[in-house]
């Protein structure tokens, strides 16, 4: 279990209460900053700490809500019995089925399926999580598919492709985002998400095995 405190500018302090899933209390005493702003320290209750795993991703949400003005710190309090699973995201993942370069033509055709984490012409591999599906459940996509070239031309067929900028994760955001069957892959140049089992048939086999185990239990 963990107890967290955060120093927040007074004019944005109320926004933090809607983010934190745990009960918070304001500590007595106020600090006056040199810029002329009042700051208040907000802490979780001593009697109601929260799971250490639940703090992953909380800092980024706090900075977004307070326009970058929050300073958060936390410390380990004690061990307690298991409190249950932490809810994850509802939407599935878009998984690459091929290895190669992400083609802008393919990304444009699949933009309605969800949000992408890779940029055009970026190298992808089989089993890599390249985006978030707009619906529950995973979907396998092919980003390496190129446009078929013909001698026929039609009005509007060669129009410029408009792509939504890809989502880029920090390490903390990636750890918060992944599901139980996914890994975060960290290299000196990039942070990528991938499935534990890269092959589609291996993922189906693992899913069926987990389902049989759950039924037997």
Query: With contact defined as beta carbons under 8 Å apart, do 175 and 56 qualify?
Result: yes
Cβ–Cβ < 8 Å for 129, 177:
no
pLDDT higher at 156 or 92: 92
Bridge partners (DSSP) listed for residue 32 = 38
Three-class DSSP category at 137 = coil
Contact yes or no for 24/62 (Cβ under 8 A): no
Q: What is the spatial distance between Cα 119 and Cα 191, in angstroms, rounded to a whole number? A: 13
**pLDDT tens digits, 6-36:** 555 555 555 555 555 443 444 444 444 444 4
pLDDT(56) > 90: no
Q: Using the predicted structure, report yes or no on whether residue 158 has a pLDDT greater than 80.
A: no
**What is the Cα gyration radius of the chain?**
23
Check: CB of residue 130 under 8 Å from CB of residue 118: yes
- Chain centre distance of CA 50: 21
Question: How far is Cα 41 from Cα 27, in angstroms, rounded to an integer?
Answer: 6
Q: Beta strands 139-141 and 93-96: pairing type? A: parallel
Residue with the larger pLDDT of the pair 44 and 172: 172
Taken in order of first residue, the domains within the chain and their CATH numbers are 2-76 (3.30.70.240), 93-216 (2.40.50.250)
| Exposure class string for 171-180: b at 16+ Cβ within 10 A, else e | eebbebbbee
Among 60-64, 78-82, 92-96, top mean pLDDT goes to 92-96
pTM metric for this prediction: 0.69
* Torsion over CA: 188, 118, 174, 209 (sign): negative
Q: How far apart are CA 118 and CA 102, in angstroms?
A: 8
Q: Measured between alpha carbons, how far is 37 from 34 in angstroms, rounded to an integer?
A: 7
């Amino acid at each position: 279990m963990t107890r967290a405190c955060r120093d927040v500018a007074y004019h944005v302090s109320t926004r933090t209460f809607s983010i934190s899933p745990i009960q918070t209390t304001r500590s007595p005493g106020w600090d006056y900053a040199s810029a002329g702003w009042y700051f208040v320290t907000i802490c979780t209750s001593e009697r109601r700490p929260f799971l250490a795993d639940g703090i992953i991703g909380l800092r980024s949400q706090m900075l977004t809500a307070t326009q970058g003005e929050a300073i958060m710190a936390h410390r380990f309090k004690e061990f307690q019995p298991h409190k249950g699973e932490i809810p994850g995201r509802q939407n599935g993942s878009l998984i690459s089925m091929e290895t190669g370069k992400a083609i802008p033509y393919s990304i444009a055709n699949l933009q309605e399926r969800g949000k992408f984490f890779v940029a055009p012409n970026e190298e992808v591999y089989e089993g890599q999580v390249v985006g978030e599906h707009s619906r529950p459940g995973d979907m396998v996509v092919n980003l390496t598919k190129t446009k078929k070239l013909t001698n026929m031309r039609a009005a509007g067929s060669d129009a410029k492709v408009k792509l939504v900028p890809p989502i880029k994760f920090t390490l903390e955001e990636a750890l918060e985002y992944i599901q139980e069957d996914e890994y975060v892959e960290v290299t000196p140049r990039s942070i990528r998400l991938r499935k534990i089992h890269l092959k589609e048939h291996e993922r189906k086999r693992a899913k069926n095995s987990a389902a049989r185990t759950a039924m037997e239990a």
